[in-house]
Structure 1
Amino acid sequence: MRLRGQTEAVKRATLCPEHLLPEHGVPPPWPGREVRLDGMVSYVRDTPATAPGAEQALYVHGLGGSSQNWTDLAGLLAVRLHGQAIDLPGFGRSEPGHRYTVPAFAERLIRYIEHSDRGAVHLFGNSLGGAVAVQVAALRPDLVRTLTLISPALPFLDFRRSLQGRLLPLLALPQAERMAARRLTELAPEALVEQLLEACVADLSRICEQRRREALEEIQLRYQSEHYAGVYVRTFRGLVSSFLRSYLPGPGSLWRLARSVRAPTLVVGGGRDRLVDVRVAPQAARVIPDSRLLMLGQVGHVAQIEAARLVARAVLGLLTETGEGAERHDLAR
């Protein structure tokens, strides 16, 4: 599907009033636990709800991210949602998997939702996690109540619009994983943190010192992991492959899957996203039938970190608009 300009009208997201959110704060990472499923351990962080009758939410990070990417947003939404953020196989503290493709990750999420026995969830995905969430919502609508996509990595072909485009030649080399591992060891953890923040965040002043320290701890964890570099390269290769398949005939197109999503959907895009083409979020809002769009002009790739309160207001607006849980939570007070 060709990306088009932003001239077509799309439904705008509704923002709940600011005063309905908890007061400003910087919570520490939510506590985590290991979940063994099908012989493999996944690491899951729980954000308990702060009100009775809350509904279930599942948060899925992007390429190179982890469950910690959702600390702030999950905390803000705890007034309505009991959240679980999962580390995808090979990322964060989850064990490596066998395949690192969008369909494989989607299959893992489906199995986890079924295993957790919480019923249908409000599903959130950022970047790669957004692509995975679209596939889950399309294939198993019974498991998804609403869908929130933040800078979803849905297919685009002009990789000049992504900083990761410079990695494409690496994928063709037989020693790509070894080269990536060597590159990882050449950079000091502090330098890598700054590179990642500069790539993902438009305004670094929005990232507090505590979040920087936590990012450094995450990077140091990667340096201790023998599998991380290989997992990153294989996942990036799988994502690029899904992009290419989406422009070929057949049922595997992520854009075709997006068109079949029936869950009420919120799409959030950053106007200064350096990793996903900024035209993708508006296109996703046009393609997914019951969707609304929130474009944040001065925000980068991880709006759930950089503009957590605005994103939370849009999510609560979606839940109110669609009647999800409104009978238990009066947002009109």
Structure 2
Amino acid sequence: MPSTEEQRAEAALAAAEGWPGVRDGETIRTTDVPGMTLAVRRRAGGVDGLEPALLVHGLGGSSRNWSALMEQLTADVECEAIDLPGFGASPPPPTRDYSVYGHARAVIRLLDAGGRAPVHLFGNSLGGAVVTRVAALRPDLVRTLTLIAPAMPERLPRLTSIPTGLVGLPGATRLLRWATRDQPPGRRAREVLRLVYGNPERITPLEFAMAEAEMERRQGLPYFWESLGRSTRGLLNAYTLGGQHSLWRQAERVLAPTLLVYGARDRLVGVASARRASRAFGFSRLVVLPEAGHVAMMEFPAEVAGAFREFLTEAAVAAGDRGEADGRP
């Protein structure tokens, strides 16, 4: 009789098989790490010997959110993108821990198991909060940090972000499940894309088709609403933590050079928090894209890739200057 671990691995493989939105040049694999099984999307670098990068998606997203950017970065880094537990092709964690710490634990275990660290670590939205925790807790795993519209606590949340936050309230997912029971996946996919894009006219037919296919498959999973609701609640809970556990306090502990990318048309994360972030992260470069929304890496992948390349050059020069100041050759 197969063990629980074997059953979980088989379920993960079945989930990953034929997962929608896998582009040419990409592969998806599942990997067992202590206590969980994770799906990882990979795009090989264009040349050998590139430094590794790991990309972490936002709330309700998946590794597919990084496909366009990974394609732009094939000459710069070797890209892998994780499906956080309960999202994409990753099964839910056995502990049902969807807190920011729980997701950070998944990223840390993947990096420890893979032996690729330190990596260039990317995060969008919820993923930005997650990788901030990772960089603060395990600086040995992170070469650089790139945060795209990171979900950090704001003094005055945007009104357009409030409905998303309400998903984390007790009983909200049951109500949403009932209210959307007859809603076609295409309609929900379009609503999500229109929320996160700065200019919905930039949503290509291919992107919409892939988003619709992924939404249809995910809504059929028995843990779809649980992973969404509990991850939202976990993020809101992280916003209430104070002292050393505060996300802003942990940002101040990050040692890695940090690239901050914000969209001026973001309906979920205000540009005002960009200024606070640029002060909180020690060595940081701030880029604001005037036409971008919440997912700049999907909407403007070439511009984000260009900003990352410039950032790497600046970080290398700064590292050399620090080495000279310390008397290192």
TM-score range (shorter-chain normalised) is 0.7 to 0.9
After TM superposition, give the deviation of residue 222 of structure 1 in Å: 1.4
8 Å Cα contact 2:40/2:82 also seen in 1:
yes
1:20 corresponding residue in structure 2: none
Q: For 2:117, which of 93, 108, 119 is the aligned residue?
A: 119
Q: What is the DSSP-based 3-state SS (H/G/I as helix, E as strand, rest coil) of the residue aligned with 1:146?
A: strand
| Superposition pairs of residues 136-151 of structure 1, within 5 angstroms | 136-151=134-149
Q: What is the DSSP-based 3-state SS (H/G/I as helix, E as strand, rest coil) of the residue aligned with 1:35?
A: strand
Deviations 1:186-235 (A, max 9, x none): 32111111101110001122222111111111101112111111111111
8 Å Cα contact 2:40/2:83 also seen in 1:
yes
Q: For 1:217, which of 192, 207, 213 is the aligned residue?
A: 213
Report the CA distance shift for 1:305/1:167 in structure 2 as closer, same or farther (over 3 A): closer
Q: For 1:229, which of 225, 228, 252 is the aligned residue?
A: 225
Look up the equivalent residue of 1:60 and give its one-letter code: V
1:133 corresponding residue in structure 2: 131
Q: What is the DSSP-based 3-state SS (H/G/I as helix, E as strand, rest coil) of the residue aligned with 2:230?
A: helix
1:267 corresponding residue in structure 2: 260
Count of aligned residue pairs for this structure pair: 296
Instruction: Say if 2:44 is the partner of 1:43.
Output: no
Q: What is the DSSP-based 3-state SS (H/G/I as helix, E as strand, rest coil) of the residue aligned with 1:115?
A: helix
Deviations 1:110-136 (A, max 9, x none): 111000111200000000000001110
Instruction: Say if 2:273 is the partner of 1:276.
Output: no
Gaps of 5+ in 1: 1-25, 327-333
Q: Calculate the TM-score normalised by the size of structure 2.
A: 0.85
Q: What is the DSSP-based 3-state SS (H/G/I as helix, E as strand, rest coil) of the residue aligned with 1:251?
A: helix
Gaps of 5+ in 2: 1-21, 320-329
Distance (whole Å) between structure 1 residues aligned to residue 91 and residue 159 of structure 2: 28
Q: What is the DSSP-based 3-state SS (H/G/I as helix, E as strand, rest coil) of the residue aligned with 1:31?
A: strand
| Superposition pairs of residues 1-333 of structure 1, within 5 angstroms | 28=24, 30-97=26-93, 98-159=96-157, 161-169=158-166, 171-173=168-170, 175-245=171-241, 248=242, 250-323=243-316
Look up the equivalent residue of 1:136 and give its one-letter code: V
Distance (whole Å) between structure 1 residues aligned to residue 194 and residue 167 of structure 2: 22
Distance (whole Å) between structure 2 residues aligned to residue 231 and residue 313 of structure 1: 33
Distance (whole Å) between structure 2 residues aligned to residue 167 and residue 318 of structure 1: 32
Look up the equivalent residue of 1:123 and give its one-letter code: L
After TM superposition, give the deviation of residue 163 of structure 1 in Å: 2.5
Between stretches 291-300 and 203-212, larger displacement belongs to 203-212
Question: What percentage of residue pairs aligned between the two structures are identical?
Answer: 41
8 Å Cα contact 2:169/2:233 also seen in 1:
no
Between stretches 144-153 and 110-119, larger displacement belongs to 110-119
After TM superposition, give the deviation of residue 88 of structure 1 in Å: 0.4
Q: What is the DSSP-based 3-state SS (H/G/I as helix, E as strand, rest coil) of the residue aligned with 1:323?
A: helix
Deviations 1:18-72 (A, max 9, x none): xxxxxxxx95482201111224221100110001220000000000000000001
Look up the equivalent residue of 2:84 and give its one-letter code: L
Distance (whole Å) between structure 2 residues aligned to residue 153 and residue 275 of structure 1: 9
Distance (whole Å) between structure 2 residues aligned to residue 153 and residue 115 of structure 1: 27
Look up the equivalent residue of 1:256 and give its one-letter code: R
Distance (whole Å) between structure 1 residues aligned to residue 237 and residue 199 of structure 2: 31
Q: What is the DSSP-based 3-state SS (H/G/I as helix, E as strand, rest coil) of the residue aligned with 2:298?
A: helix
Answer 1 or 2: which has greater helix percent.
2
After TM superposition, give the deviation of residue 323 of structure 1 in Å: 2.3
8 Å Cα contact 1:28/1:71 also seen in 2:
no
Report the CA distance shift for 1:29/1:93 in structure 2 as closer, same or farther (over 3 A): farther
8 Å Cα contact 2:56/2:63 also seen in 1:
yes
Between stretches 199-208 and 231-240, larger displacement belongs to 199-208
Q: What is the DSSP-based 3-state SS (H/G/I as helix, E as strand, rest coil) of the residue aligned with 1:49?
A: coil
Distance (whole Å) between structure 2 residues aligned to residue 43 and residue 212 of structure 1: 22
8 Å Cα contact 1:49/1:80 also seen in 2:
yes
8 Å Cα contact 2:166/2:172 also seen in 1:
no
After TM superposition, give the deviation of residue 179 of structure 1 in Å: 1.8
